[in-house]
Amino acid sequence: MQTERFQTTQSRTREIDEGLRQHMNNIYAKMTAGVLVTAIVAWVVGSSPLLLNLFLGGPQAYLVMFAPLAIIWFGFRPEKMKASQLMMAFFGVATVYGISFASIAVMVSADPTFGVAVAKAFFIATSMFAGLSVFGYTTKKDLSGMQTFLMMGIIGLVGASVMNIFFGSSMMANVIAGAGIVLFSGLTVWQTQAMKEMYSPSMPAEFASRMAWAAALNLYISFIAMFQYILHFMSQR
């Protein structure tokens, strides 16, 4: 009897582990697709003077800059929207970020040295993200207490970034970039642990898909933010 019970427990554990592995792989695949869409859109828009002027050639550039925040705050509701709607919102965010990054693509085409800085920043951000995700997945320490601190810090970071658009202070920009790397690194660790702990093999498929899109968006934003802030320092060299 005990042997059968032990075997049943082992089988159940294997099912949970496999389900969790598939769930996490699904999230990272979605996040990677978002990064790829951003890169493609940035290159396409940056390669077209017409599109570049259309999106970034005037005051509309500010609309492009703040559009991702608008979509996230007002158009991304995992608790209310279907998985298909969340998918469209996710790729909408990735597309708008790609338009915003078109100026980076233009600078890369014009200056190979800057292209090297972009490549280094992307490699560093990818390495950091991978290491932070592994830590968040494997650590036994409860990281839930980080959430409030990180959210407050990021709200302050957004406010400081908006203010610096008008002040144009290079010192303030460096402080914002440094704080951004720390905050989004912490957010990546916390998000990874939260994704793992929220998983349940008994979740309905639609709910699991909605949760996966929400998690993919969170990780995508953290990765993009780290890349931007690291690029800020790399481009100063």
Residue 237 has what pLDDT? 59
Instruction: Mean pLDDT check: name the lowest of 7-16, 99-108, 120-129, 211-220.
Output: 7-16
Q: Is the pTM of this model over 0.75?
A: yes
Tokens describing residue 113: 């040295």
> Radius of gyration over alpha carbons of the chain, in Å?
20
* Mean pLDDT to the nearest integer, 105-115: 76
CA end-to-end span of the chain, whole Å?
A: 68
CA distance 225 to 231: 10
CA distance 47 to 225: 23
CA distance 136 to 143: 9
Q: At a CB cut-off of 8 Å and minimum separation 6, what does 222 contact? A: 129, 184, 187, 188, 191
Residue 236 has what pLDDT? 73
Instruction: List the one residue out of 65, 236, 92, 72 whose CA is nearest residue 165.
Output: 65
Tokens describing residue 114: 């800057």
Residue 16 has what pLDDT? 56
pLDDT band at 10 (very low <50, low <70, confident <90, very high): very low
CA distance 14 to 126: 30
pLDDT digit string (tens) for 35-48? 999 999 999 998 88
